[in-house]
Structure 1
């Protein structure tokens, strides 16, 4: 868990908060678009500014709307971010100048206990001079003039933040070892829109950390949240929960912003260890769910399927069996993917889901010694010898595990380029079944010794 001081970026929509966030974390983590209101949930990242390390929070544009509306729920997330921050960066657009909403935000910030640093963005050139002068009336002193897009003014921002977030006495954090079984489990929750992904994560955390509601497609950015799960058997275990945007069928995704959200969700899958495909039990399994699952497996991620809204599902037994059968048929490359039932509304099944996720990561990270592997291999080819296409024998010599996460094996032999796919599948399924890899994706590479007379 991060021990770094926290900085929250606050401001009305479209002043450049996400652009500054991306610059400070050094990656394009937050989605950026010319349209206002792109950011909805608050997004966190580790930032570095001229050697100063801190935790940065990108927030939704602050809007004065009814608390029950989507903008109102977004505002509640922004208020929560300011409450937990050591300092707030209040950003205005110096080219536009002050607008009534800026003054409303300033009144709210003056009533909070969090120190405020005023930032005038888009201050390159002379177009922002009048807006910078206007901002003095907000009562936060001289603004830090910068250009988040072009990286100008970062030294002045460093000077402004330094008094609030100096942290020489903090203990150094240990580097994360991905092979360590006690390292945080990187768990991505994926699925179609409105499957209940954000609601499930909120239930896990025990707080309204992510915006939820009846509207489809609320989540846009992929949001990573550090959390400690209280395992009934082993105590606290670190988890990095990743909430993702709902992924619709590609043909239905026309809007540029939705395309960016889906791309961000796919990117999140790449960096996860275990992917939970969340299904809406009231809608069952659809072709799009299989596409999402197949994508996770193609990327080599371990997969778990969870049926959400189980507390309101009808014909539960036949639904569960139908989903399992459809997965067996649709994901023929990996048999036996775990299928669980959960309820984000009541919390039922969440501990089981996390227990299975940790066990699945353990199988995904497993390494088998060469001796044990080849004893199994000899029995496997004795029970089912490889074919002899055209009367020429394929000789399989030995098998070795080259990598983990996902497990990858290299098969050495002669004429292995003629080894049928069905026989390769026989070996892969045997490895999964007999050596404890379960339903994780397994890679098999074929390699023949070099022929010295090739030339």
Structure 2
């Protein structure tokens, strides 16, 4: 992108609504409650013929540095320092407040270009608030309605004037717009290949999308900050600080990693407020678009019921999963505790036999390289494809060792097997009387695939297909 813009202002003036309008998607959570946005969220914006990077920020408030509001303010000030231009949003409907004037003075001291934006100008009685904005001394305000998309042409002209045409239209030749959609959508690792012996190699150069999920206060944001080596995400002792699913990019051993921080997910019965429901929905969306999901456990209180439900949810979505036992620096007897965790993992998560579990500390950085290697290894298994010839040899051997049961005196025969897709691995078996095959035999086949083809910890799906009887219609006529 040619330049970066930060959207700033006091709480509840419509910053996130304007952000969503400019990126063309509802990425940021929007609610009438003041202070919804807490972290700074980047996005790729389009405004008429302008293309630029935009940052949504928390509402600026006057507070001490040790408070949650003070830490939010520090994140916003970091966004202002990073940006080439600030869009200072005021509410034309309610008019200026003393906080608006304080913020205007702060932006003026920064010495960077500022465009004053009078939002909600479509409301009746907004004229007085619009003219009040002149008193800030930041130039002529631009009247807009972020909700209805009014005034966008005027906003574009004001940005070009503030930056200058050379800066505003300086296109980066090698820039390819990255979007908040699955970068690998539609590339199912060779899906649909007809060659029975074809097993494509794993592509370790493609970007990897990783979602970090878990209960509130498990240390998800602290973990990502440790990976990045900076205080990129808002953290603190308070539970439930993160609300939006924020994406950050970084390189690990030459590979691009796009990591999503998500809101903590409590038990469904406890999620009552609308804002928390929106946050959890955003976290679920991040899981669906991710390739690998890291479920962060609090090592001091592991395997709460909600932890197990989150793991089950991730596996049902078909994602590759890795467990991270955080706060390992607080464990008193690590070796004995690790042995106990391994036993509980196998016993409490039978649907993910062999799932990788790594002890880590987001606070000290312990185990992070090992966690990343396990993420890569799990993604490799999740993308795995097995040739049809190998699968059918395995199917024949499995039936010899443990034949399918006879139902009503008739033996079920498994005839043919092939892999229909990867991500996660899914197989189709042609057989007789597929509806009569017991669930216990399906589990036997899945466990055999895990063991014989080294596919631990990822969801495996098997679909059964019965051949149609060409004389079935005649039997029905009788």
Q: TM-score range by the shorter chain?
A: over 0.9
SS where residue 411 of structure 2 aligns?
coil
Structure 1 stretches of 5 or more lacking a match? none
Tell me by how many angstroms 1:172 deviates.
3.9
Tell me by how many angstroms 1:127 deviates.
2.2
Of 255-264 and 215-224, the range deviating more from structure 2: 255-264
User: Which residues of 2 match residues 48-447 of structure 1 at below 5 A?
Assistant: 48-162=46-160, 163=165, 164-173=167-176, 176-177=183-184, 179=187, 180-229=203-252, 231=253, 236-447=254-465
Deviation per CA, 1:82-116, whole angstroms, max 9, x where unpaired?
11112211101011111111111111111224321
SS where residue 13 of structure 1 aligns?
coil
C-alpha contact 1:290 1:327 (8 A) present in aligned 2: no
Deviation per CA, 1:218-251, whole angstroms, max 9, x where unpaired?
111111111112x3xxxx2211111111111222
Deviation per CA, 1:24-54, whole angstroms, max 9, x where unpaired?
2222221111110111111112222224322
4+ residue runs of structure 1 moved beyond 6 angstroms?
A: none
Aligned mates of 2:449, 2:44 — CA distance in 1:
40
Aligned mates of 1:448, 1:5 — CA distance in 2:
59
Deviation per CA, 1:271-300, whole angstroms, max 9, x where unpaired?
111111111112222111001111100100
SS where residue 333 of structure 1 aligns?
helix
C-alpha contact 2:218 2:296 (8 A) present in aligned 1: yes
Deviation per CA, 1:369-394, whole angstroms, max 9, x where unpaired?
21222222222222211111111121
Aligned mates of 1:273, 1:264 — CA distance in 2:
16
Q: Which residue of 2 is the match for residue 13 of structure 1? A: 11
Tell me by how many angstroms 1:451 deviates.
2.8
Distance change >3 Å, CA 426–CA 260, structure 1 → 2: same
Structure 2 stretches of 5 or more lacking a match? 188-202, 474-478
Distance change >3 Å, CA 114–CA 371, structure 1 → 2: farther
Normalised to the residue count of structure 1, the TM-score between the two structures is 0.94
Corresponding position: 1:449 with 2:429 = no
Q: Alignment length, in residue pairs? A: 448
Aligned mates of 2:2, 2:346 — CA distance in 1:
45
Aligned mates of 1:403, 1:355 — CA distance in 2:
24
Aligned mates of 2:9, 2:205 — CA distance in 1:
38
Q: Which residue of 2 is the match for residue 31 of structure 1? A: 29
C-alpha contact 1:282 1:314 (8 A) present in aligned 2: no
Q: Which residue of 1 is the match for residue 190 of structure 2? A: none
SS where residue 352 of structure 2 aligns?
coil
